[in-house]
Amino acid sequence: MRVGIAGASGYAGGELLRLCASHPDLDVAVVTAGSAAGGPVAAVTPALAGAYPDLVMAPMGAGVFDGLDLVFLALPHGASQDLVPELDGSVGAVVDLAADFRLRDPSLYPVWYGEAHRSPHYLERFVYGLPELDRGPLRGTRLVAAPGCYPTAAVLALAPFVRAGVLDGSSVIVDAASGVSGAGRAPKANLHFGAVDGSMVAYGLLDHRHTPEMEQGLSLPVLFTPHLAPMSRGILATCYARPIPEARLDSGAALAILRAAYHQEPFVVVRDDPPATKDTAGSNCAHVTARVDPRTGWLVTIAALDNLGKGAAGQAIQCANLVLGLPEQAGLPTTGVYP
Q: For this structure, is 149 an active site residue?
A: yes
- The answer to whether the Cα torsion of 319, 285, 44, 20 is positive or negative is negative
Query: What angle, 0 to 180 degrees and rounded to 10, lies between the N-to-C axes of helices 251-262 and 149-163?
Result: 110
> Which residues, in sequence order, are CB contacts of 43 under 8 Å at separation 6+?
none
- The answer to whether the Cα torsion of 174, 177, 183, 184 is positive or negative is negative
Selected catalytic residue, list 149, 239, 285, 319 = 149
Alpha-carbon distance of 58 to 301, in angstroms, equals 44
Asked if 289 contacts 258 with a C-beta cutoff of 8 angstroms, the reply is yes
Asked if 115 contacts 78 with a C-beta cutoff of 8 angstroms, the reply is yes
Asked if 15 contacts 308 with a C-beta cutoff of 8 angstroms, the reply is yes
- Backbone φ and ψ for 127, nearest 5 degrees, come out as -100, 130
Which residues are catalytically annotated? 149
